[in-house]
């Protein structure tokens, strides 16, 4: 399914699609009334609302949103019908060109049909396929949310437009509930928390979309990677490491130069063209193909925390969730046909166990099938899709089908997880590939002594370490479980006289393999405790004369408050047990 197919699916499945589509028109109509020189680009419904990209003669600010809402309220009250009409393509190009609507003209020029669809409500006419509600009065609850800049068609070489985001619901109560969810999402925003907690940053001098991990952020990343590496080794995966750059010959052979070139960073050196890797799979293929393989060797599971780079447009970059350089917990499994379904089941089980360890327990599973542009035979695609379906059925897993959304080399299962406030995040993926083994002539020697074609499964559990890092911060609103906290305990002496005992406490905690630090600043104890709570450190160990004499610590928890005095060894064991158990509550 191409872009048009996705759009049709959303129209059919989303009960708020027509309402939000209509609200987008009314918003553009209101802006046009307030600023008659406004030119229109696109205004689609999106997952939780709508937006419209506009070329205005003035720069809008947040103070303009209530004015636009007020004008929208007038249009809604006027109760204009949404009426559909048609115009010949050439006539429409002439009409919109005369109106100075260059963006609409570009859209129409790309339409294949001989006529185009238009919708009118009151004085407002827009190029549109619908659907819409009956009248503007059917828009019951609408709210404008924010402003942003957006390049026309996502291309930084094109004009920058002003984008207005909004949302619409069937009732004021539903709208209010949504606005509360947005407030909660804002409180959990990993970009703000990443700065406040000193975890990571983006540096203008280095360019957009590349992440700088600060000491605490690098520690959290290490904890995630150590866990995921440990789990792979337990399950028979072998660690590999591959270069960051390859000659483009390999990308041509794999199909990436044909299907993925626009996302690749390419350069030349000594009259050879190279590409910075956007994927890890060709490197793993070369390792597999470096020697003859036997049927007894399979399955071979190669795992790499492989850093890749993709040329994402600056307009779509979003904190850690969409970056240009990121690390995948990437594995490629080379196996026989009789091992395929069982291996996919094993991966699904692995995925769910990992996600539960991190505190995610709700999932949405999607099966994506052959896209319009693909490599490999129809028979191999059917075979691969059948294996994915069989594995899902064997595990009793419900799933939805996304026609035409597979990778160019094979169908896939995508695992979306739900976080603490019900948002879905794309994480794991399992891709069944018969095509690249053909292109690279991957074989193994069978029991009959003959060469047989190897099958390949691409899979990731976290997806991207960067994206998962951001998701974790938002899941826990920065208050990470003890096992993931970069600093698990801060030791707070009540005065300078007890700094030496504080150091002994830190040493003891460190001997129990705990991450502890001493706050020996010349500041009041209450200020230190407040700072530790703001930094979301799970435990505070306050020490003074009484504690030094008794060999104890006065324990505070970031949520539960004062837990009273504890013997130092007992406290260390408590935190150690909580960390080792990987409790998430």
Q: Which residue's entry shows tokens 């559909």?
A: 84
Q: In the sheet where 245-247 sits, what is the strand order?
A: 245-247, 272-276, 265-269
CA distance 558 to 538: 5
Q: Is the dihedral of CA 431, 437, 440, 446 positive or negative?
A: positive
Could you report how far apart the first and last alpha carbons of the chain are, in Å?
41
Domain 200-244+278-475, second-level architecture: 2-Layer Sandwich (3.30)
Rounded Cα distance between 510 and 508, Å, is 5
Q: Which residues of 457-495 are buried (b: 16+ CB within 10 A; e: fewer)?
A: bbbbbbbbbbbbbbbbbbbbbbbbbbbbbbbbbbbbbbe
Residue 527's contacts (CB-CB under 8 Å, 6 or more residues apart) are none
The alpha-carbon radius of gyration of the chain (Å, integer) is 28
Q: How far apart are CA 462 and CA 320, in angstroms?
A: 13
3.40.630.30, 3.40.50.300, 3.40.50.2000, 3.40.50.800: CATH of 482-580? 3.40.50.800
What values do phi and psi take at 415, rounded to 5? Answer: -110, 115
As to burial, measured by CB atoms within 10 angstroms (0-12 exposed, 13-18 middle, 19+ buried), residue 585 is exposed
Give the torsion sign (CA, 10, 12, 14, 20).
positive
Under a CB-based contact definition with an 8 Å cutoff, are residues 122 and 81 in contact? no
Bridge-based pairing of strands 424-433 and 160-169 is unpaired
The Cα 309–Cα 279 span in angstroms is: 8
d(CA 274, CA 174): 53
CATH code linked to domain 3-182:
3.30.980.10
**Structural contact between residues 183 and 298, judged by C-beta atoms closer than 8 angstroms:** no
Residues of the chain with CATH 3.30.930.10: 200-244+278-475
What pLDDT sits at residue 3? 43
> Which stretches within 158-311 are classed as H helix?
172-187, 190-196, 215-234, 248-254, 256-259, 281-288
With a CB cutoff of 8 Å and minimum separation 6, the contacts of 256 are 264, 275, 278, 279, 282
What Å distances lie between residue 483 and 51, 220, 272, 487, 585, CA to CA?
41, 10, 47, 10, 11
Q: Which residues are within 8 A (CB) of 297 and not within 5 positions of it... i.e. 6 or more apart? A: 444
Active site residues: 281, 310, 328, 330, 332, 412, 458
| Contact status, residue 161 vs residue 42, Cβ threshold 8 Å | no
Instruction: Report d(CA 90, CA 77) in Å as an integer.
Output: 35
Give me the pLDDT at residue 13, please.
Answer: 66
**For position 1, what pLDDT does the model report?**
33
Q: Which of 464, 487, 475 is nearest to 215 (CA)?
A: 487
The HSE-up count of residue 113 (CA atoms within 13 Å, CB side) is: 9
Spatial contact of 574 and 512, defined as CB atoms under 8 Å apart: no
Half-sphere exposure of 14 (CA within 13 A, CB side): 22
**pTM score:** 0.84
Q: Give 555's strand partners.
A: 541, 564
110-113: long-range contacts at Cβ-Cβ below 8 A with a sequence spacing of 24 or more? 113/89
The separation between CA 60 and the C-alpha centre of its own chain, rounded to angstroms, equals: 29
Strands (E), 371-518: 400-402, 412-418, 424-433, 443-445, 451-453, 455-460, 489-493, 516-518
Kindly compute the dihedral angle of the four CA atoms of residues 84, 89, 93, 94, in this order, to the nearest 10 degrees. Answer: -90
Half-sphere exposure of residue 112: CA atoms within 13 angstroms, side-chain side: 1
For residue 494, the 8-state DSSP code is S
- C-alpha 194/C-alpha 210 separation (Å) is 14
Reading the chain (585 residues) residue by residue, the pLDDT tens digits are 334 445 555 565 678 999 999 999 999 999 999 999 999 999 999 988 999 999 999 999 999 999 999 999 999 999 999 999 999 999 999 999 999 999 999 999 999 999 999 999 999 999 999 899 999 999 999 999 999 998 898 787 899 999 999 999 999 999 999 999 999 999 999 999 999 999 999 999 999 999 999 999 999 999 999 999 999 999 999 999 999 999 999 999 998 888 888 899 999 999 999 999 999 999 999 999 999 999 999 999 999 999 999 998 877 888 999 999 999 999 999 999 999 999 999 999 999 999 999 999 999 999 999 998 888 888 888 988 999 999 999 999 999 999 998 888 889 999 999 888 888 888 999 999 988 999 999 999 999 999 999 999 999 999 999 999 999 999 999 999 999 999 999 999 999 999 999 999 999 999 999 999 999 998 999 999 999 999 999 999 999 999 999 999 999 999 999 999 999 999 999 999 999 999 987
CB 516 within 8 A of CB 506: yes
Q: Is the preceding omega at residue 362 within 30 degrees of 0, hence cis?
A: no
> 567 forms bridges with which residues in the sheet?
552
Domain with CATH 3.40.50.800 in the chain: 482-580
Tell me which H or E stretch contains 546: helix 545-550
Asked if residue 327 lies in contact with residue 307, where contact means CB atoms within 8 angstroms, the answer is: yes
């Amino acid at each position: 399914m191409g872009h048009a197919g996705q759009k049709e699916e959303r129209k059919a499945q989303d009960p708020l699609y027509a309402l939000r589509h209509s609200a987008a028109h009314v918003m553009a109509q209101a802006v046009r009334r307030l600023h008659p020189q406004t030119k229109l680009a696109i205004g689609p419904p999106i997952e939780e609302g709508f937006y419209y990209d506009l070329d205005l003669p003035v720069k809008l600010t947040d103070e303009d949103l209530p004015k636009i809402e007020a004008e929208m309220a007038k249009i809604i009250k006027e109760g204009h019908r949404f009426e559909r009409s048609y115009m010949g393509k050439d006539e429409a190009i002439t009409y919109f060109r005369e109106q100075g609507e260059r963006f609409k003209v570009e859209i129409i020029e790309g339409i294949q049909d001989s006529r185009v669809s238009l919708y009118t409500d009151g004085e407002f006419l827009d190029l549109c396929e619908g659907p819409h509600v009956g009248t503007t009065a059917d828009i019951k609850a609408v709210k404008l949310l924010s402003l942003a800049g957006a390049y026309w068609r996502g291309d930084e070489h094109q004009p920058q437009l002003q984008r207005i985001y909004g949302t619409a619901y069937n009732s004021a109560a539903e709208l209010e509930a949504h606005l509360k969810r947005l407030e909660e999402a804002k409180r959990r925003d990993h970009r703000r928390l990443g700065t406040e907690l000193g975890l990571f940053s983006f540096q203008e001098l280095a360019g957009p979309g590349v992440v700088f991990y600060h000491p605490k952020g690098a520690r959290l990343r290490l904890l995630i990677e150590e866990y995921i590496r440990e789990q792979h080794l337990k399950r028979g995966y072998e660690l590999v490491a591959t270069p960051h750059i390859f000659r483009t010959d390999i990308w041509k052979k794999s199909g990436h130069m044909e299907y993925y070139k626009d996302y690749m960073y390419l350069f030349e050196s000594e009259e050879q063209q190279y590409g910075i890797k956007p994927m890890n799979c060709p490197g793993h293929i070369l390792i597999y193909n470096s020697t003859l393989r036997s049927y007894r060797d399979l399955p071979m599971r190669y795992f790499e925390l492989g850093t890749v780079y993709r040329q994402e447009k600056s307009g779509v970059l979003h904190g850690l969730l969409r970056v240009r350089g990121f690390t995948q917990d990437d594995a490629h499994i080379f196996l026989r046909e009789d091992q395929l379904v069982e291996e996919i089941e094993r991966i699904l089980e692995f995925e769910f166990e990992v996600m539960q360890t991190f505190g995610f327990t709700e999932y949405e599973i999607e099966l994506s099938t052959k896209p319009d542009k693909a490599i490999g035979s129809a028979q191999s695609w059917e075979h691969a899709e059948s294996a994915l379906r069989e594995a899902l059925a064997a595990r009793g897993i419900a799933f939805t089908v996304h026609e035409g959304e597979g990778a160019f080399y094979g169908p896939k299962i995508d695992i979306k997880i739900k976080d603490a406030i019900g948002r879905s995040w794309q994480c794991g993926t399992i891709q069944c590939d018969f095509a690249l083994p053909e292109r690279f002539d991957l074989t193994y020697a069978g029991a009959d002594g003959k060469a047989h074609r190897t099958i390949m499964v691409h899979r990731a559990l976290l997806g991207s370490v960067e994206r998962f890092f951001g998701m974790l911060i938002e899941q826990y609103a920065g208050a990470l479980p003890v096992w993931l906290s970069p600093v698990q305990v801060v030791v707070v002496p009540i005065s300078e006289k007890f700094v030496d005992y504080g150091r002994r406490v830190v040493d003891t905690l460190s001997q129990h393999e705990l991450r502890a630090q001493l706050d020996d600043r010349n500041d009041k104890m209450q200020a230190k405790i407040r700072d530790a709570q703001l930094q979301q450190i799970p435990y505070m160990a306050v020490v003074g004369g009484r504690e030094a004499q008794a060999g104890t610590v006065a324990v505070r928890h970031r949520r539960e408050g004062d837990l009273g005095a504890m013997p130092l060894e007992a406290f260390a064991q408590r935190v150690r047990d909580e960390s080792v158990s990987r409790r998430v509550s």
